[in-house]
Structures are given as structure tokens and as C-alpha cells.
Copies of this chain bind each other. A is one copy, B any other.
Amino acid sequence: MTDRNLVSIRPFLANLAGLVRMREEELTHLMHLVKALNRHTAHQHILEEEAPSDRIVVLIQGSACRFRRLPNGRRQITAFLVPGDICDYRFLSSGTVGQSVAALSPVAVARIPVEAFVAASETYPVFMRAMLSASAVNDAIMREWMISLGQRNALERVAYLLCELELRMRRVGLVEDGSFSFAATQADLGDALGLSSVHVNRTLQELRRRHLVGMSKGVVTLYDVDSLGRLALFEPHSLGYDRAGRAAVPMH
């Protein structure tokens, strides 16, 4: 991998290393599988619905989301992506699936040829295990979103989302003093949480009023993660991070 963009794929390695035990040698080998490191501007599409899946696409820097549009024009965001996340798991089954990935801020994206990855997995089976674990975590996150959409009210939904993001960002070492970068607009949050942007606005105000959350210019701050988690009915272990828990995973 050429590091011409002065971006390291560290969040990606941190993500996988938090899921399976990997030796230094394996991390190095994995790093060299990365064949492209591109940038996209905000609002640009990173992956189209029907794109072939010959590359594993990994978000390295910035915020992105998966989404799908309904025939009536409405949009549901099905996931927010943070650095280290795999944009789409369709490569595991070589089928195409109807969802796109778009950048919410300027982003950096790494691409790994699927063929090379599969070949390398013959030597290092831990690579494929890591992917399957990441996919399982992805499932768990989707499941919790379903629970949010079905059972939580607006306040709980917003609180839950922020707790989830904080945990995921912390896992890859991107939370500092309770703050992390996250670039979704209130309309984006609405499309993710099944709320109108107006109601998202009022809900965020309520969370600010309670001194639980601060949010401005793409930076989120959680002043009291425990209270927020209680309000959100947040259960970290349900996200399937077996080895991570609430502790940060340091990059040796």
C-alpha cells in the first residue's frame, strides 16, 4: 500500500484486532493487501446499490452511511459507518444487495481485492474469521436498530444511537474526553431513526438541557455516558463485542 495520502489504516486494524487475536505478522500482511486508498467528498456515493463486490471497501476516515430509498422517495439510513468499518458485506456471498453507501463528510476509503483477501485467508484463516466476526457484529448492530425503531421513543432512540457510536468510536481509539467526530445532519439522524428532522432537533435540545449531550460542528460530546445509557436502555454486551466490552482497545 502506498501511503501517499498520509492516512494510515489503523482504525481498520484496531477494529479487527478487537474481534480476533492477531499477531503482528498477520496485521502487517493484512495491511499490505490494501491496494487503493481513495478520498471522497461529502455526499458522494462510495458504493452503488448494484455495484459488483470484487473489492472489500473499508472506511478509514470520516463518517458515512448505508441507506436505501423506497419507491415513494423516502430514505432509510440502515447504518452509520465509523472509521475501521467495512462498508458492505456483500462480498461474503457474492450476491448484490439493494443498498448504497454514501459519505457524510469527506472520507478516506481503503479497498482490498476480494480475490487476494480470500487467497491470503488460506494462509491466515484468522482473516476470514475476523471478517465473519465483523459481520456478526454488524448484524447485532442492525438488530439493535430494529429494537430502537420498534420499541424506543424519540429520546431513547437518539440517546441509544449516541451510546452506540461512542462505543464503536472508542473501540478504534477515536474518543477523546468523551468527544468524537460524527458528521450526520439532523435530517440524516431523522432518516436513520425514523423521526422527522424537526423532532430530532427538539430531542437533541432536551438531551442538551439535561446536560447529557453536546453536539455541534460534527463533534459529539457525551457528558454522562452512564446516565445516557440508562435512558437509552443501552446494553453494550448486546452488540456482540465479546473481547472489547467497555474498555478501549489500545493499538500496541
Interface residues of A (CB under 8 A from B): 68, 70-72, 74-76, 78, 89-90, 92-93, 95-99, 129, 132-133, 135-136, 139-140, 142-143, 145-147, 149-151, 191-194, 233, 235, 237-238, 240, 242
Contacts and interface: CB of A to CB of B under 8 A. Distances in A.
5 closest A-B pairs by beta carbon, nearest first, are: A150-B194, A149-B149, A93-B136, A98-B238, A93-B132
B194 A92 contact: no
A29 B228 CA distance: 52
Given A136-B97, A146-B76, A150-B149, A233 B194 contact: no
A72 B70 CA distance: 32
Nearest to A238: B98
Count this chain's copies in the assembly: 2
Contacts of A71: 233, 235
B143 A92 contact: no
8 contacts: A89-B139, A93-B133, A93-B136, A95-B242, A98-B235, A99-B143, A146-B146, A146-B149
Contacts of A142: 139, 142-143, 146
B233 A136 contact: no
B147 A95 contact: no
A76 B139 contact: no
Contacts of A149: 146, 149-150, 194
B74 A151 contact: yes
